[in-house]
Amino acid sequence: MTRRRLFYLLLAILVMLQVRLWTGTGSWEQIASLRRDIAVQKNTNSELELRNERLHGEVRSLKHDLDSIEERARNDMGLIKSGETFYLIVDE
């Protein structure tokens, strides 16, 4: 009879450990979910790094290149130099 109790005790312990392994804190599902979150975050970070590099390039260009400053002023603020004629073409 004691062997049977020991068997059931060990079986109960095994079941409890399995439940914790599959559903508890640090479970396989939680680890898989965290790995998916990490992959998504790495993708987001790489996109933001590319955006930052483009912005740094634009800042360097604006600091050192007068043509880019003029282009930015024309596009963003409507700069027209003296002696130039402004034409607005409207598509219907």
Q: What is the mean pLDDT of each run of 10 residues along the chain (92 residues)?
A: 89 86 78 94 98 94 84 83 85 85
Predicted TM-score (pTM) of the model is 0.54
Helix (H, G, I), strand (E, B) or coil at 55: helix
Tell me, what's the pLDDT at 39?
A: 98
Tell me, what's the pLDDT at 71?
A: 83
Beta-sheet strands, E only, within 1-92: none
Q: Where are the domains of the chain?
A: 2-76
Contact of 22 with 29, CB cutoff 8 Å: yes
Q: Which residues of 7-42 are buried (b: 16+ CB within 10 A; e: fewer)?
A: eeeeeeeeeeeeeeeeeeeeeeeeeeeeeeeeeeee
Angle of helix 2-23 relative to helix 28-64, nearest 10 degrees?
Answer: 20
Tell me, what's the pLDDT at 55?
A: 95
